[in-house]
Amino acid sequence: MNTLAYIIYLLITYLITVRVGFIFYRNGRVFILDVLQQNVPLTDAINRILLVGYYLVNLGYAALMISTWSTIVNWTALLLSITVMTGKILLTLAVMHYCNMIVIYFISKRSQSILHP
């Protein structure tokens, strides 16, 4: 049953990570453009690098989480394991998002204070 749990978990994690990553990529461009004073080539390069890093961290974390699972013996344990591990991934995504937003906020405040003393 562990193999079934791994497949379901990795599929759910993959879909969530890719969907959320695309939303961050599309909407985050506006914030990065503002921080970089409308430098489009640099913004696009940084945004792609952030997307790749985001995918690598989240999918790597998801793969590592599988090693913490105990043996699943029934359907209830299967559902519980998938739910707990998916919740951990979602919390990780939320923490990463808010940390990135805080960094972008402080960078924009810093660049505004440099440009407007």
Q: Which two tokens stand for residue 38?
A: 């409308």
Its domain, for residue 78, covers 2-115
How many of the other CB atoms lie within 10 Å of CB of 111? 14
Angle at 88 between CA 85 and CA 94, to 5 degrees: 145
Confidence check: pLDDT of 103 > 90: no
64-74 pLDDT, tens digit each = 888 888 888 99
79-94 pLDDT, tens digit each = 999 999 999 888 988 8
Task: Give the chain's domain count.
Answer: 1
